[in-house]
């Protein structure tokens, strides 16, 4: 009697189907993970900017002048927004208002997978997120209520 060695076509097809199912689950999960890892840049820089603004306020009892002299690590020089040091995926803007005790720091996504997503923080440490229509098509939603930085699809903080 002759013994056949190797795989049958059915066995090979089963392996291909299993690999396809695993890929369909693993690739989107990995892409979401990479997107969330890019968001840490914005969260870190906004948190650092907020601390610097609070240090400025402790020294001067006002936020006036903090942005114009680079009190937030050079966030704005002469009123022109400058990107935070080491930023790759987000652009940063710092807005001082006419009221001496207010400011707003904002990070807006630049990289393709974070485009349309932005984070903001103000003098009250009120953290908010913004998501445009293109980001909503990719599954990103705003948290309800919008009182945190959304870092997961579906509006989770």
pLDDT digits (tens, 9 = 90+) for 18-51: 999 999 999 988 988 999 999 998 998 888 888 8
Task: Give this prediction's pTM.
Answer: 0.77
Cα–Cα distance for residue pair 121/11, rounded to 1 Å: 56
3 located within any domain: no
Number of domains in the chain: 1
Instruction: Write the DSSP string, 46-103.
Output: HHHHHHHHHHHHHHHSSSTTTTTBTTTTSSEETTEE-PPTT-SSEEEEEEE-SSTT-E
147 located within any domain: no
33 located within any domain: yes
List the CATH number of the domain containing 48: 3.30.700
61 located within any domain: yes
Cα–Cα distance for residue pair 129/38, rounded to 1 Å: 15
Domain that holds residue 94: 9-137
Structural tokens at position 136: 């909503």
75 located within any domain: yes
101 located within any domain: yes
79 located within any domain: yes
17 located within any domain: yes
How large is the average pLDDT for residues 109-137? Answer: 89
């Amino acid at each position: 009697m002759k013994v056949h060695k190797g795989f049958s076509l059915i066995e090979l097809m089963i392996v291909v189907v299993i690999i396809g199912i695993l890929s369909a689950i693993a690739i989107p999960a990995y892409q979401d993970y990479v997107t969330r890892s890019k968001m840490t840049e914005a969260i870190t820089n906004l948190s650092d900017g907020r601390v610097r603004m609070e240090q400025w306020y402790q020294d001067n009892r006002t936020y006036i002048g903090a942005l114009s002299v680079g009190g937030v690590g050079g966030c704005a020089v002469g009123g022109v927004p400058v990107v935070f040091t080491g930023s790759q995926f987000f652009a940063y803007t710092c807005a001082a208002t006419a009221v001496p005790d207010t400011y707003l720091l904002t990070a807006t996504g630049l990289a393709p997978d974070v485009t349309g997503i932005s984070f903001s923080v103000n003098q009250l440490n009120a953290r908010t997120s913004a998501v445009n229509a293109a980001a909503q098509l990719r599954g990103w939603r705003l948290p309800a209520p919008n009182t945190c930085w959304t870092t997961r699809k579906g509006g989770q903080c």
